[in-house]
Amino acid sequence: FLSPCVLLAAAEAGVGYLLPIPCTQAEILRRLEDMLLKVETPVSDTAAAFARYHVRRLGLPRGKGLSRILEILPHYDSRTEPCLSKDFYADMAKALGVSTDAIDAAIHRTIQKGYEHRNDAIWREYFADTSVCPGNKEFFNAVSDRIHENAPSR
């Protein structure tokens, strides 16, 4: 199936990697994760797109905490709000019908899981000290700074 002609046509079409079939789901997922990490820029230039890009680079797992992080990050600016305002949590808690503590805990668990399975080189780009897991405030400040550096339409 993989003749020189097929390989040449694939290369001309911009294919950078061929995955032999049959293969396991784990191989496919690993390859997709590798491809996502190599994405140089977000799909669009909005703060929300940059937020998704940065949390994907940091390898945060899916779940309620990630959803909450992605809801807060586009609106949070560490330069104008030196500390993570509980107003973000309170507004979200009211809208979702949960406690602010539940939101805080979900976000922290997500950051903790991402930290436990981190790519240390990528995390060092965001955090000076990768020997300890960043707290929620430190996480939001670091990622917000990166979003603001890159997102022109904030």
Give the tens place of pLDDT for each residue, 58-112.
999 988 899 889 888 887 776 676 556 667 778 888 888 888 899 899 999 999 9
Asked if residue 43 has pLDDT above 70, the reply is no
- pLDDT reported for residue 133: 96
At 20 the pLDDT is 67
| Top-confidence range, 28-32, 46-50, 131-135 | 131-135
Residue 154 in this model has a pLDDT that exceeds 50 = no
User: Does the structure show a pLDDT above 90 at 26?
Assistant: no
pLDDT at 153: 47
Short-list 96, 106, 99, 91, CA closest to 136: 106
> What pLDDT was estimated at residue 95?
83
| Res 82: pLDDT | 56
DSSP state of 60: P
Of all helices (H) and strands (E), which one includes residue 148? helix 136-150
User: Tens of pLDDT along 102-152?
Assistant: 989 999 999 999 999 998 889 999 998 989 999 998 999 899 888 877 665
Rounded Cα distance between 65 and 105, Å, is 8
Task: Check whether 40 has a pLDDT greater than 60.
Answer: no
CA atoms within 13 A on the CB side of 108: 10
pTM metric for this prediction: 0.68
